[in-house]
């Protein structure tokens, strides 16, 4: 009898204690609900300052490790590559092989459908984006394809072949280039020491007769983009238009817009050739 | 009064001797290390791929945004992800790591995930046969032929059940902390956690968001767990009074709870499902700021729905137990 009394004592004491504590927790919830305090705006202390970006290495060969951050649209995302690697991962693999040192893709922040205006918005206001850009010593980016080809792609998706016109492409190009200049400037301000690689545009519609002339507007864009990054010696533009012109069937994926695995491998190959 | 205490003691010891509680502890002792190991795998995988937590969150945001741009994703999922993106962005903007691995953080996640199914199941494991079991074995006759009022008998059973519910949640928290802390460290009590996200449609109203220390968040979570577990216990008591067979009452309660989780994941289109108790069990979601299963549900709403269901359960149990023909 006394053993069960002791047992009862233990159970009672501990469970009553537990009940009281849990009820207190519930009480805290009510207190929190009622007295929802005005947003305690805890601003980040001395804004995020990544440690290792200070090194002034001019070539990748001199860097201790390579930290890649990729920005931009679906081309950087790797859309169309069934292996999911895209050119970013191929470049990372290639660099690892070439230099035999640690290569890390810190972030691939590309979002399908991103336009130049969105990228500039993120770069200038999103502290996370800025943090990533500051950390990197190799930045890969693509932008502009959606600004130029959005209307053409929408019509293609609807199989609206007749209204496909190359003339519409040229219209927005000047404003888009202006945004591109701001992007290049912002990246440079955030991280002046990193190597920056921009992938030039290609015309995915080269094989369609009424869109073949789009290549001309695209070249206009490429020229403007080259002029925009030219003032920064650490920035590099990789042309891709020639890769695809004769081999659209081989290098484009089934959506007739994005490269396939081989296409991405070729793009990455070009970047690897030009990076030192 | 003294008589009631003696009755509660009697019921508590009866439950103890059924060894259900020991089984619960054993289940926890097996499950928690399994989940700890899984979490450890996740954490080390992240550590391998990301330089620090900010990169990880950034990537998470970018990945979610990519799924948002797909046309194949149903609109409700998009809404949830938009909300998640805004929350992650908020954490990032305020430089707070939402899931710094620690024993406390693991416990917090475990509680949040077990409130809808696991803890109700443990409660039912203890409580479903509390009345029906006595009817099956015939001991109810001995109990009710003694000179004690029937409502006192049932009340003592309810008290004993309450004690075990509290004990179960407390043991879950303590074991979680002790076991996972062995891997993730025993710190993290004061890490800031954001709460108070208000969800309106697919946007977040962050005007009342504030940081609370993690210990306080955990305590609040445990309190909410207790509340939903008590609702389940009250309804379990009712079913146990109404249905003679223990197996049948267990199945009834479990299917009601599982139906709730299924309805929650199907969500939205059937708005009046929000008055069902099992859709409201996930109280901790409101603290974390995850979107409610059905639009328009809030913490006060869910608390009231659960309270009403629990109260109804108790009223029915007491009425039937005192007035009904229990002995046959």
Please check whether residue B54 lies inside any domain of the structure: no
Mean local confidence (pLDDT), B313-317: 95
Please check whether residue B73 lies inside any domain of the structure: no
Whole-prediction pTM value?
Answer: 0.81
pLDDT digits (tens, 9 = 90+) for B100-148: 889 999 999 999 999 999 999 999 999 888 888 888 888 888 877 788 8
Please check whether residue B111 lies inside any domain of the structure: yes
Number of domains in chain B: 1
**Partner residue opposite B13 with nearest CB, options A4, A110, A111:** A4
Q: Which residue of B has its CA nearest to A112?
A: B66
Please check whether residue B235 lies inside any domain of the structure: yes
Distance CA B209, CA B207 (A): 6
Would you state the pLDDT for residue A169?
Answer: 64
User: pLDDT tier at A49 (50, 70, 90 boundaries)?
Assistant: very low
Domain range enclosing B267: 2-49+99-323
Number of domains in chain A: 2
Mean pLDDT, chain A, whole residue set: 83
Where is average pLDDT lowest: B164-168, B264-268, B317-321? Answer: B264-268
Please check whether residue A197 lies inside any domain of the structure: yes
Please check whether residue A42 lies inside any domain of the structure: no
B51/A29 Cβ within 8 A: no
Same domain, A139 and A30: no
pLDDT at B268 over 80: no
Distance CA A153, CA A195 (A): 32
Q: Which residues of A touch B210 (CB under 8 A)?
A: 36-37, 39-40
Q: A195-199 and A235-238: which strand pairing?
A: parallel
Same domain, A90 and A196: yes
Please check whether residue A270 lies inside any domain of the structure: yes
Same domain, A101 and A16: no
Residue whose pair of structure tokens reads 């693991």 in the numeric block: B106
Would you state the pLDDT for residue B328?
Answer: 61
Same domain, A28 and A63: no
pLDDT at B60 over 80: yes
Please check whether residue A39 lies inside any domain of the structure: no
Please check whether residue A45 lies inside any domain of the structure: no
Domain range enclosing A60: 54-274
Please check whether residue B67 lies inside any domain of the structure: no
Would you state the pLDDT for residue A171?
Answer: 67
Exposed (0-12), middle (13-18) or buried (19+): which is B59, by Cβ within 10 Å? buried
User: pLDDT tier at A174 (50, 70, 90 boundaries)?
Assistant: confident
pLDDT at A10 over 70: yes
pLDDT at A54 over 60: no
B13/A15 Cβ within 8 A: no
**Partner residue opposite B223 with nearest CB, options A28, A36, A108:** A28
Same domain, A19 and A76: no
Please check whether residue A41 lies inside any domain of the structure: no
Same domain, A15 and A108: no
Distance CA B302, CA B298 (A): 6
**Partner residue opposite B92 with nearest CB, options A36, A110, A128:** A128
User: pLDDT tier at A47 (50, 70, 90 boundaries)?
Assistant: very low
Same domain, A122 and A12: no
Please check whether residue A43 lies inside any domain of the structure: no
Mean pLDDT, chain B, whole residue set: 88
Q: What is the ipTM of this complex?
A: 0.86
| Cα dihedral: B126, B227, B217, B163 (round 10) | -40
Q: Report yes or no: B299 at the A interface, CB cutoff 8 Å.
A: yes
Same domain, A138 and A27: no
Would you state the pLDDT for residue A167?
Answer: 58
Cα angle, residue B115 at apex, residues B112 and B118 outer, rounded to 5°:
115
Same domain, A9 and A81: no
B167/A18 Cβ within 8 A: yes
Would you state the pLDDT for residue A191?
Answer: 92
B residues 111-150 near A, CB within 8 Å? none
């Amino acid at each position: 009898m006394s053993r069960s009394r002791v047992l009862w004592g233990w159970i009672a004491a501990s469970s009553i204690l537990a009940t009281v504590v849990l009820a207190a927790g519930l009480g805290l919830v009510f207190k929190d609900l009622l007295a929802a305090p005005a947003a305690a705006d805890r601003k980040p202390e001395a804004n995020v300052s990544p440690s290792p970006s200070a090194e002034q290495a001019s070539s990748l060969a001199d860097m201790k490790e390579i930290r890649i951050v990729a920005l931009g649209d679906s081309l950087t995302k790797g859309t169309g590559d069934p292996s999911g690697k895209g050119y970013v991962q191929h470049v990372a693999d290639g660099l690892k092989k070439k230099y035999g040192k640690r290569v890390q893709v810190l972030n691939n922040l590309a979002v399908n459908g991103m336009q130049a205006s969105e990228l500039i918005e993120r770069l200038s206001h999103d502290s996370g984006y800025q943090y990533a850009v500051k950390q990197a010593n190799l930045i890969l980016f693509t932008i502009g394809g959606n600004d130029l080809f959005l209307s053409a792609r929408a019509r293609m998706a609807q199989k609206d072949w007749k209204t496909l016109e190359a003339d519409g492409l040229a219209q927005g190009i000047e404003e888009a280039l202006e945004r591109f200049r701001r992007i290049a400037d912002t990246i440079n301000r955030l991280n002046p020491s990193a190597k920056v690689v921009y992938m030039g545009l290609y015309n995915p519609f080269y094989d369609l007769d009424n869109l073949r002339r789009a290549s001309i507007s695209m070249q206009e864009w490429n020229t403007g983009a080259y002029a925009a990054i030219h003032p920064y010696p650490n920035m590099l533009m990789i042309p891709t238009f020639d890769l695809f012109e004769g081999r659209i069937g081989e290098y484009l994926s089934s959506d007739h817009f994005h490269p396939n695995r081989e296409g991405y491998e070729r793009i990455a190959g070009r970047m690897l050739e030009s990076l030192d | 009064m003294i008589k009631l205490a003696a009755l509660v003691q009697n019921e508590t010891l009866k439950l103890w001797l059924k060894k259900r509680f020991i089984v619960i502890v054993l289940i926890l002792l097996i499950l928690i290390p399994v989940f700890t190991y899984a979490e450890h795998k996740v954490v080390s995988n992240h550590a391998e791929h990301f330089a620090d937590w900010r990169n990880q969150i950034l990537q998470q945001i970018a990945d979610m945004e990519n799924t948002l741009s797909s046309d194949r994703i149903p609109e409700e999922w998009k809404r949830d992800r938009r909300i998640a993106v805004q929350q992650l962005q908020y954490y990032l903007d305020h430089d707070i790591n939402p899931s710094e691995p620690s024993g406390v953080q693991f416990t917090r996640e475990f509680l949040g995930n077990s409130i809808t199914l696991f803890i109700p199941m443990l409660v039912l494991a203890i409580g479903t046969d509390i009345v029906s079991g006595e009817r099956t074995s015939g001991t109810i006759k001995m109990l009710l032929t003694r000179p004690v009022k029937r409502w006192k008998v049932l009340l003592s059973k309810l008290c004993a059940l309450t004690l075990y519910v509290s004990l179960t949640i407390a043991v879950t928290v303590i074991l979680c902390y002790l076991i996972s802390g062995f891997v993730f460290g025993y710190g993290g009590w004061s890490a800031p956690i954001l709460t108070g996200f208000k969800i309106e449609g697919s946007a977040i109203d962050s005007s009342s968001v504030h940081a609370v220390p993690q210990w306080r968040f955990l305590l609040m979570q445990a309190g909410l767990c207790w509340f939903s577990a008590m609702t389940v216990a009250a309804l379990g008591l009712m079913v146990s009074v109404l249905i003679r067979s223990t197996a049948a009452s267990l199945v009834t309660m479990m299917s009601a709870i599982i139906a709730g989780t299924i309805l929650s994941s199907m969500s939205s289109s059937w708005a009046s499902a929000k008055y069902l108790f099992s859709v409201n069990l996930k109280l901790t979601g409101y603290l974390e700021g995850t979107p409610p299963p059905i639009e328009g549900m809030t913490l006060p709403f869910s608390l009231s729905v659960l309270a009403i269901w629990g109260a109804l359960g108790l009223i029915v149990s007491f009425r039937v137990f005192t007035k009904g023909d229990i002995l046959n």
